[in-house]
Structure 1
Amino acid sequence: MQELWQWPERTMRRVRWLLLIGWVGLILSLLVPAAGLNGNGLFWGSVVPGGLLVIAAVSHELWRRICPLAFISQLARALNRQRRTRSANGRLDVVKIRADSWLGQHHVQLQWTLLIAGLCLRLLAVNNSAVPLAVLLLGTVAAALAVGWAFGGKAWCQYVCPMGPVQQVLTGLRGPLGQSAHLNTSSRITQSMCRTLSSDGREQSACVACQSACIDIDAERSFWSNLQGKRGLDWAWGSYPGLILAFFLLLEMDGSGSADTALLPIAAGLNIPRLIAVPVLLSTAGFASAWLHRRAEVLLSQRYRRSRRPEPEQRARQHVRLLWSWIAINLFFWFANPLQGLFGVTGHHLLRSALLLITGLGLARSWSRTQGTYRRENSSTSLRRQLQAMPGLEKALDGRPLEALQPEEVFTLVKAIPAIGDHNARRIYSDVMRDMFETGRMSQASALVELDDLRNSLNLSREDHHAVLALLQRSAGPGLAGSLLEQEASELRCAAAREKIEELMRMSGLAVIDRNGLSASTETALDRLRQSSGLSDDAWESCLVSFGPASDREQQRLQALHQDWQHLHTLQRGLQEASGREPLLRPLAQVLRRQLELVTAELEPAWAAAQHPPLVAASEGTWNRDEAMDLLWQDPSASTAGWALMVERQRGATHAERLTRQARVDRERSAFLEEQIQGQNSALVDACAPLLDSELFSDLTPDDFLWLAKQGDLRCYASGDVVIRKGEESSFLAIVVDHSVEVVSGECTIAVGSAETIGEMGVITGQPRSATVVAGPQGVALFEVPSEAFEDLLQRSPQFNRGLLRELAKRINPDPSQSDC
């Protein structure tokens, strides 16, 4: 069977027009009762249940591609008549709903409120009244038109339509016949993603990224992204079965649905007007259902925690949501019969049974899914693309095609290929990350978690991730600039804009876009495309440059990267010099050093290939501390941002306020960063502060220092106190922070001073302590690192490695002046 997303757009347009004609006919039948058609019965009995049946038994993809109201809401876009406002440069741009606007944050509450209001309205006025129903449908059409005119993208479907959250609840992870969008490698157009037709009949993406983690692009990603933190969705999901049950019970109790009866008592002996009783009873049922949903989630998470299942809270929430979806679907069709008695009672029973079976199989399929499985599958799709070009891969696979490998096998293959190496590992990681951003399958805020398995397979660290992400932000230009939500949206808009520019070039007979030689009509067409693309001016120019002459395009990219390299070098050098006076700056200088290394690795080969002279950093140039701190505040790492804010707060309140006024929208968050935003002192920084002056840790970043602080412990001993006793288990090594200790072995005593280590031999060999160590005459302050963290520390800090080797060499050839033997 052909995938639903592959059904031709030309065919779907015909279906949409037929449904729209039917919608108009339905409204006319309500306004002209003499036509002999029971419009109320048809709408409530077949149209509404039929739409829900398509979503529940087939897929949301099909319904969202044929929905008449969605079609109506896009008419203003199709006619190029959408509302526009002037941008900073005076151009007219289509208005978009921002994620941080009131509607962007509270749309689920609005949609669910409209749904409950609609249920009340049906029960009170329009169930059996033709003209009021016609007015309601006309008002809905007008609202869809108005929203489609006022905002770009699928604003009606995503932010206003009451059925939007219902579709998400009924879909869950994926419809019974739905496609796994993240496994689709043949097309950038997935599921019910917005699309259009070019002049030669090819399908093109028309996505303007009106919502992050869009259900039209990838329903499963939308499910996982909204599993926590989505305002109003918990209440909507939990309350839906209760609303369905209460609605149908009230409908069977009194289904007159006429405004004439709105003030009559709800039932005999209960003297409460229906106008009050209906919304109260519906809301009460919704609250009861939501409370049961929450209780089930708590009990299930406790059970999972006792059985030591991974991520018990998340798994419990996933399972209860899936179960509530299954209950809601089957509860609805227990009462509703879209067949309208066509096959009698038997037909309704068969429909119920078939739906139970289909949704039950869907529930079983989704029950065992985990977010980790989705992430591995998602990243393995992009990883396959990068591995295709590797030499000798066919031999390693013993004839099996790469596409046939399971995600786990792809990651195992990466571990097993000896030719990858550190440089290639970072390149593969960067290419996979870029591919997932460009196809809209991952947001940059979630990239650290989603690419965890790939990072482990390539033996890369969190710091490598942050450095690669920072490099992508630089080298990709404006398409990856700005807030992280805008970055993801910009990539999707750029992909759609590129297809339209390619079509314009074919129609105009252009091989390249040379801005100096374009005709007036082509310039006008390009400007029209820019307005409809939803891209910022910088992002549009970056997109357009990619169609310019190849030599010019590459030279512009190299020159921009070279300027950035020089600027980064100046900032890093200035920060390194200042760290001699302010030790807290040293970890931040290391962040810029690692970024500089990656930018150099990216720039150097291409710079040499273009026959430029060797890279030489400018010896002159004044660094700007505010620029450096702004850059570090926007770093992908929350630890780096928090550290920069902490340093600036110590410098002065105005400097800290300057940073916090710059939003870190959808970037990585952490408890440490929140502490710094609130102006609190960090116990972690206090714990590792004495190590900042130590040369042993001069190459650690804020991430590394905070990790070290969590692992270790700063302890003080009075003179003569035993720090290590001979024969004890070697459970830690320690760094002397202040004063000294004395190592006593037989008749020999060796003094160990500040910035030196003790206990490292026992940790390395795993043998018991070979000597006793006591605090020196002035006592001693030690930073103790448990043996479990020793291997990680060696990997994080080459400088600590070298310092440790020097210490071991001194142990072998001790300085007589420091010993008493």
Structure 2
Amino acid sequence: MLSSVPERKMLYVRSLLLMAWLTLIMSLFWDPYSAGLTGPVKETSPLSVAHHAVIVQGVELRVEPYALGTRVFWTIVIPIIPLFLIVFGHEAWRRVCPLSLASQIPGLVGLQRYSRKVDRRTGAIRKTPQVISRQSWLARNSWYVQFGLLFIGIVARILVINADRKAMAIASLSIISAAFVTGFLWGGKTWCNYFCPANIVQKIYTEPGGILESHPHHLRPKLPQSMCRKATADGDIGACVGCVANCGDIDLQRAYWSDVLDPQRRNVYYMFFGLIIGFYEYYYLYAGSWDYYFSGVWTHEEGIWEKLLKPGFYLFGQAWPMPKVCAAPLTLVITCTLSLVLGRTLEKLHRRWRSRDNSKSEILTIHHCLTVASWSSFNCFYVFGGQPNIILLPELAGRVIDIIIVVSSTIWLYLVVHQNPCRYQHESRTRTAR
């Protein structure tokens, strides 16, 4: 959708979003104003602590007035992203992502590391950005590496980052710094393709295309989708350094069909569903009721560090002695393992069913399984994502939001499940012939 917008304009958009994120991070260190909206005297405010009496592990949790930075980020900003991805697609997100800009800054200001090669014919020295070898361990295991980083981040969220403002600020600055350092060491979109934990979420919710995704195999534009580009006086020019093979920023469908049978992809898709289930389920397992999550008190809970070694489960009316620092990752490991087993089992059943119908294409079998896994993860996320704020809205507004989410995901499912590699190749050849 944004593939034809000039790079200079998109650079401004990314810069504004990065500045907005940095402003939010600054507010986590100092915000003397927003806490006034949550004080007990603000009876008319839906965020007033006077409205929230939450029982956690059988005891009423004391809630003090709090600054809104963490609540805004976790219950408004983050829940918007999956819907944006599924509607506008991979190319739109890649062109607006503020972390992508952070990784591009070294190249924009001339600080990027280069390798120097001598042209044998002319003797001229040619500088090219460093890239990670496609045969390296990191390149071969990038799915697991990024999912592992995402898993660690989710555990850290549960334990401290959700509620501790300084911890969240430090974590955010660390991620931005990591993107910057990666951009210094390697060129292209190395950060996006090999390190960024959000890349897993982006792939699952956008491949092989969002609802409004463009189709470069139809249009054959000079600079397709979110291909790396550089703004010049004569317009944008390509700046691809070949950091990955079959780059999704050039042709997302081609990248998807060439990699759809990768076992890593399938395992991560299935485990991601379990990661979502485990993340939200743990709020109930920890507190003993859903009020703890839906009240949003977890975004500003007091004494979060002291609770790391206190009971992490509260089941059947009593606290279990396992400390929270162990209980949270254990819950996610169990749910990820169970969802992986479930996904693999359903995949086998679907393969057997398709073989009875003489439909033996392995690519389509896996494609259908991955598509359903993505759709299930998306809708499961929105059963909980953003709900602490949505339930504060008028009932009609909440219903409208739910309808938008379900309709969008169903349209995406219909469009994606009917795509296949043969159709892609046929459309590409037809366009070439024309």
TM-score in same-fold range (> 0.5): yes
| 8 Å Cα contact 1:239/1:287 also seen in 2 | yes
Give the secondary structure class of the aligned counterpart of 2:396.
helix
Give the secondary structure class of the aligned counterpart of 1:196.
strand
Comparing 281-290 with 335-344, greater Cα deviation is found at 335-344
Deviation at 1:199, TM superposition (A): 1.6
Q: Distance in 1 between matches of 2:194 and 2:162?
A: 26
Give the secondary structure class of the aligned counterpart of 2:32.
helix
Q: Distance in 2 between matches of 1:229 and 1:61?
A: 22
- For 1:298, the aligned partner's letter is K
Percent identical among aligned pairs is 29
Which residue is 1:492 aligned to?
A: none
Q: Which residue of the other structure, out of 192, 199, 209, is the alignment partner of 2:242?
A: 209
Which residue is 2:48 aligned to?
A: none
Q: How does 1:339-488 map to 2 (within 5 A)?
A: 340-341=389-390, 343-384=393-434
Q: Distance in 1 between matches of 2:78 and 2:420?
A: 32
Q: Distance in 2 between matches of 1:191 and 1:84?
A: 26
- For 1:365, the aligned partner's letter is L
Q: Distance in 1 between matches of 2:232 and 2:393?
A: 44
- For 1:199, the aligned partner's letter is A
Q: Which residue of the other structure, out of 146, 149, 154, is the alignment partner of 2:181?
A: 146
Which residue is 1:194 aligned to?
A: 228
Q: 1:348 to 1:212 in 2, by over 3 A?
A: farther
Q: Distance in 1 between matches of 2:276 and 2:10?
A: 31
Comparing 169-178 with 264-273, greater Cα deviation is found at 264-273
Which residue is 1:304 aligned to?
A: 354
Give the secondary structure class of the aligned counterpart of 1:251.
helix
Q: Distance in 1 between matches of 2:388 and 2:310?
A: 32
- For 1:98, the aligned partner's letter is S
Task: Note if 1:242 corresponds to 2:274.
Answer: yes
Task: Note if 1:53 corresponds to 2:102.
Answer: no
Q: 1:58 to 1:196 in 2, by over 3 A?
A: same
| 8 Å Cα contact 1:77/1:149 also seen in 2 | yes
- For 1:244, the aligned partner's letter is I
Deviation at 1:40, TM superposition (A): 0.6
- For 2:230, the aligned partner's letter is T
Which residue is 2:30 aligned to?
A: 32
Cα deviation code 1:101-157 (max 9, x no counterpart): 121111111110000000000000111110000000010111000001000100111
Deviation at 1:315, TM superposition (A): 1.9
Q: Which residue of the other structure, out of 94, 97, 111, is the alignment partner of 1:64?
A: 94
Give the secondary structure class of the aligned counterpart of 1:238.
helix
- For 1:78, the aligned partner's letter is L
Q: Distance in 2 between matches of 1:70 and 1:304?
A: 41
Q: Which residue of the other structure, out of 74, 84, 90, is the alignment partner of 2:104?
A: 74
Q: Give the paired residue count.
A: 378
Which residue is 2:61 aligned to?
A: none
Deviation at 1:74, TM superposition (A): 0.2
Q: Distance in 1 between matches of 2:271 and 2:421?
A: 24
Q: Distance in 1 between matches of 2:259 and 2:145?
A: 17
Q: Which structure is richer in relative contact order (CA contacts within 8 A, separation 6 or more)?
A: 2
- For 1:196, the aligned partner's letter is K
| 8 Å Cα contact 1:243/1:286 also seen in 2 | yes
| 8 Å Cα contact 1:196/1:203 also seen in 2 | yes
Q: Which residue of the other structure, out of 379, 384, 389, is the alignment partner of 1:335?
A: 384
| 8 Å Cα contact 2:159/2:308 also seen in 1 | yes
Q: Distance in 1 between matches of 2:312 and 2:388?
A: 30
Give the secondary structure class of the aligned counterpart of 1:182.
helix
- For 1:260, the aligned partner's letter is E
- For 1:240, the aligned partner's letter is F
Any unmatched runs of 5+ in structure 2?
A: 35-66, 120-124, 288-297
Which residue is 1:563 aligned to?
A: none
Task: Note if 1:94 corresponds to 2:92.
Answer: no
> Whose radius of gyration is greater, 1 or 2?
1
Q: 1:123 to 1:13 in 2, by over 3 A?
A: same
Which residue is 2:260 aligned to?
A: 227
Give the secondary structure class of the aligned counterpart of 1:140.
helix
Cα deviation code 1:567-589 (max 9, x no counterpart): xxxxxxxxxxxxxxxxxxxxxxx
Cα deviation code 1:234-265 (max 9, x no counterpart): 22111111111110121344444922211111
Q: How does 1:704-723 map to 2 (within 5 A)?
A: none
| 8 Å Cα contact 2:209/2:252 also seen in 1 | yes
Deviation at 1:336, TM superposition (A): 1.0
Give the secondary structure class of the aligned counterpart of 1:308.
coil
Q: 1:103 to 1:87 in 2, by over 3 A?
A: farther
Q: Distance in 2 between matches of 1:42 and 1:354?
A: 21
| 8 Å Cα contact 1:165/1:233 also seen in 2 | no
Q: Distance in 1 between matches of 2:396 and 2:379?
A: 17
Task: Note if 1:11 corresponds to 2:57.
Answer: no
Q: Distance in 2 between matches of 1:205 and 1:44?
A: 36
Deviation at 1:338, TM superposition (A): 7.7
Give the secondary structure class of the aligned counterpart of 1:204.
strand
Q: 1:92 to 1:208 in 2, by over 3 A?
A: closer
- For 2:165, the aligned partner's letter is A
TM-score, length of structure 2 as denominator length: 0.83
TM-score, length of structure 1 as denominator length: 0.44
Deviation at 1:35, TM superposition (A): 4.3
Comparing 355-364 with 151-160, greater Cα deviation is found at 355-364
Give the secondary structure class of the aligned counterpart of 2:237.
strand
| 8 Å Cα contact 2:87/2:210 also seen in 1 | yes
Which residue is 2:169 aligned to?
A: 134
Q: Which residue of the other structure, out of 186, 191, 204, is the alignment partner of 1:169?
A: 204
Q: Distance in 1 between matches of 2:204 and 2:307?
A: 33
Q: How does 1:524-603 map to 2 (within 5 A)?
A: none
- For 2:147, the aligned partner's letter is W
Q: Distance in 1 between matches of 2:262 and 2:385?
A: 33
Q: 1:10 to 1:92 in 2, by over 3 A?
A: closer
Give the secondary structure class of the aligned counterpart of 2:372.
helix
Deviation at 1:87, TM superposition (A): 4.0
- For 2:340, the aligned partner's letter is A
Any unmatched runs of 5+ in structure 1?
A: 385-821
Give the secondary structure class of the aligned counterpart of 2:149.
helix
**For the aligned residues, what is the CA RMSD?**
2.0
Q: Distance in 1 between matches of 2:360 and 2:145?
A: 35
- For 1:222, the aligned partner's letter is A
- For 1:12, the aligned partner's letter is M
Give the secondary structure class of the aligned counterpart of 2:222.
coil
- For 1:324, the aligned partner's letter is A
| 8 Å Cα contact 1:29/1:35 also seen in 2 | no
Give the secondary structure class of the aligned counterpart of 2:3.
helix
Q: 1:128 to 1:355 in 2, by over 3 A?
A: same
Q: Distance in 1 between matches of 2:404 and 2:388?
A: 14
